[in-house]
Structure 1
């Protein structure tokens, strides 16, 4: 509680000074004035008292003279604070010997109250009256303090509510396009499901976005995303909902639609409008859009079902080529059933320990020595048949199945490496392919720890499609972290992507793997041989190891050996081997013709 020292009553008058008056806050707000005046009337000259209260202007007070009627006091004039202080010092209002008490309290940041009273020469307040005054002052003070705290708490609560509303709104919208984000779309779709109102969920993907973004830069990428968002928004009307889910993925919630044919027509017209070329920095930019949609409740009755069915339909649309549009149909249902079968196969294989990775040997063509292996995923079915990855490829497109399969595979690789070591075979390198969904998995470091190998013996192989796109900076950070821990980084399928040379400069790469299409062109085309020779020279100049994959003929092997390639793999040297086959292979080595 703040008090103003300007109204100090000066030297003590006598024991008749009214104790407790300095505790009076909130005189007007608490309704205590009549009780205070009744007590003061026993002791003070009521006809010569003053009540001072701050005015609306800075350093100004409102001076009120005269008796204190219980109904209130008339306003007389504004007096600057300095003038009042001077008048007080000069004794213009009361002589120092006659002042018995001062009430001075800050009502607000710029408002206070003071009460000046002349004592009566023939009256003293008894102990009871003094106690009553003191109690009134304390009660008034507490009431005023409580009022302020409630007011402040109310203001803080209003600010908190407003801030919470703004944060909730931000959490449901995409900062780049202003559209709803995934959370906002989910909330809207939940509402339709709860009310049982028919609607359609459509997922859209920009087919050429990665190429355009990598070729022209992120500014163009952002412009494309805003252009698509605006086109979709202009082509719809409330209560349609348009959302950007992340990256180059968009979604639409279309209410009231119940027919697949009408949905296909509606999606098609929107995609055509959104894919129209637009000008950017003097060039014309075009980006095709693929879309897949499904209906509620005809194609799915839960949020999870609708997202999954729309996602599978979108995947089938993209397989049609650029600008494909599909709605949920029998083919999509068959694809979902296949995914369900794949999930059952993987879960059964893990349960019965039938995850059996195979190993593609990597050979030094100059000596025939085994350098390391590339781990390849394999599963055995209940009849002992070996399933290739193409039989369960949908597992790699689902992060949950991919994570489970990866973990089980790493556990088996660790056991295989321990078995090899117990038989006196220690490999210098174990290479593992990593997809986009796997490299951003926060559990990736723990998965690598399952191998039980020193980091320098582990090499991860990533392709360019992992590196490009709007998450490229995040991928680079993850790759740099793995490299800092000693893990080797290999750029797989080198030369087939959009910007292989750019990635050699921006990523911490140790190895480049020449894509098999170039290796298989050796001896057939002059250009193919020149490309392979140039890649190997590039590796030497940048102090990178070069691995040639897909070696199938002796002529290819001899070309690579002659041009200084120090690491090759392919069917000519060895197919992917089981762990026991690998042990036999490592024990006998391989003879390479001079």
Structure 2
């Protein structure tokens, strides 16, 4: 989680619409929607005006018999004409006719009847104001409001000045009916406008939400590589600022890895740009599959990628992850039916060792990448080597080990295992050596930890098993049958590799029986996943393989797992052996181990035996097997064969 997510190809779409054209179209659609709404409301208001006027006219003719009846008839005709205009789509003419008709009719009724004391007529004066507000035209609204005020003012001045006094009539049923009709018309128009306002607010909220989502998507696209879906350089800069602040606070280092594909141009030119794009997407997926959770993978452009590696715990983390990245990209990719290998050159810069600024670190990682490319490609380099000597050493070790595997610079030496009582050779242990030109033999203590940390031990361990079996076969063919070889296995081989199949393949390729091979396991390996390993060891034991526990007593020694696993021998660590003649505490430990092994039917072998006194003490404590310089150091294969011939006492397998 990593923090990137899955890589998918972006959808294929047509050319994007120009933003200005999109805005014009959106505005035109909005105006058209508003025009249709106004027209629909205008029809509704006209319908109410016609119905209301018809009711007022009937009320006047049947109950009142006032002088307003002729004006109501004229108004009814005006409203019906306006309604016809609205159905013809002539909204403006219809609207003006409606407002004018209402103002004129109400003005006449007020002047001829009770003046501003006529509550129904005064309330009816608000109807054109509401209609003009609905129309959304500010000039029309203010004009209508002003005309309504002038009409009311003129009617009131007639009373105030005495030019046209109005007389109050008694309240009758007809007045109540008129008031109810006007109230219903005004109330219905306000209700329609309120509903439109709610819809408008809802639409505005939806538009705002859509705008926010569109803005979010645009911002996301601005920080994503469209081809791979990975963060781009701008996004990586933001990630760096956050992680650098955290690294500074926690006093940890931050890695910037810069990768460039070595043969992308060849693929792109030979298979075409679509194939090149497909390869880049597959490379992105491959990088995501290797990095740790919290690491950020980005595509900078072209065939260049970057990995931001926070929370570096130790110097081993940098070469371990770098080696995984380089190793993963050496595996073939399948593009358009062709198998393509996309190796990479990798440059590394560290924060704060190599700089504090993102641009500076990227530049230095890029410089280191070009050094790696100039060194022969499919390699990695660290910038500013003087400031990162430990990391550089591990990087050199990983590069060297990879080269050693490719060019046969690893070799096995064999140290005899001896029956202390009679001096017979009972077997030997295969010990890995690395012979580097110009440096000679490099001891395992220098490179095995880095190999285990990086996972390269899986490939090295596979080679060790295969070479040990091949050597046993060569000894058999040379007239030295019966030699058994013990091989150390790393816990990493069990966790990352198909160790069972690797062992069977090594035996089959050399045409050996399983009893010629002994596998040395660590105590921690058995403790970590006892259920899983119990089944695995049982299957291998049934084939004839034997097992020993290496460096017994230095780990999580307990009787429980010894009883659960089919182990044949315990190896007493050299730390208990080298001073056994003088250290009574170590003597007690060795005696206890011998007794435990004897009770479980296991043999015991002591390593690191360097003098006869130590051998005699071990024999006294009940340990009958040993290995060490007292008898012989680890020997090359031919020297070991000579040693066996000289001793003439190799125990049969």
Give the shorter-chain TM-score range: 0.3 to 0.5
Q: Which has more helix, going by share of residues?
A: 2
Q: TM-score, with normalisation over the residues of structure 2?
A: 0.43
